[in-house]
Structure 1
Amino acid sequence: MRNLLITILALLFSFLQLKAQDISLYQQYNGTINYTAIGNTLNAFENNLVREFCEILPSSSADLNIPNSANVVAAYLYWAGSGTGDQEVTLNNTQVTAEEIYNVEYQDSFYGTLTYFSCFTDITNIVTALGNTTYTLSDLDISETLTTNIGYCNNRTNFAGWSIYVIYEEASLPINQVSLFQGLEIINQVEQEKTIVIDNINVLDNDGAKIGFLAWEGDSNLNYGETLQINGNLISNPPLNPSDNAFNGTNSFTNTSTFYNGDLDVYNIQDNIAIGDTSVEIKLTTGDIDDTGVFRADLIILNNIITVLNSQLPDATVSIDYYNNDCYSNTIDLDYTIYNSNSTEVLPENTPIAFYANNQRIAQSVTENDIAIDGFENKNITLTIPNNIPDNFTLTIVVDDDGEGNGTVVELNETNNTTTENIQLTPLPESIELEPLLSCDIGFNTAIFNLTNPLEEITNNSLNSVTFYTTIEDLINNENNIIIPEHYQSTTSPQTIYIKIETEDCADIYQFNLLTENCPPTIPQGFSPNNDSVNDWFNIQGLYDIFENHELKIYNRYGTLLFVGDNTKRWEGKANRGITNQGKLLPVGTYFYVLNLNDNNFKLLTGWVYLNR
Structure 2
Amino acid sequence: PEAYIAAHNTEIFVRLTDANGCFDTGSFRLLIIDCYFPDGVIQVTNIAQTCDSRSITVNYTVGNPNSFDLLPGGTQVAIYANTTLLATTVTTANIPIDGTENGTITLNIPGSIPLSFNLILVVDDNGTGTGAVVEIIETNNSYTRPVNLWVSPILLEPADITACETFNNSGVGQFDFSAYLTSLKNNPADVVTFHTSQDDANNGDNDIQAPDAYISTGLAQEIYVRLEDVNGCFDTASFTLTAVDCYFPDATVTIDDIYKQCNSRILHVHYTVHNTGSADILPAGTPVSIYVNGQFLDYTETLEDIAIGESESNFILLTIPIGIPLDFDLTFVVDDTGDGTGTIVEANETNNSFTQPTNLVLSPVMQQPADIELCDKGFGLATFDFSSYAETLKNYPDETVTFYLTQQNADQDIDRIYNTTQFVTTENPQRIYVRLFNGTCHTTASFLLKTKKCPPITYNYVTPNDDGYNDKFFVEGLRNVFLNFKMTIYNRWGNLVWTGDHNKEDWNAIATEEKVGPEGTTVPVGTYYFVLELNEPGFPEPIVGWVYVTK
TM-score where L is the length of structure 2: 0.32
Report which structure shows greater RCO (CA 8 Å, sep ≥6).
1
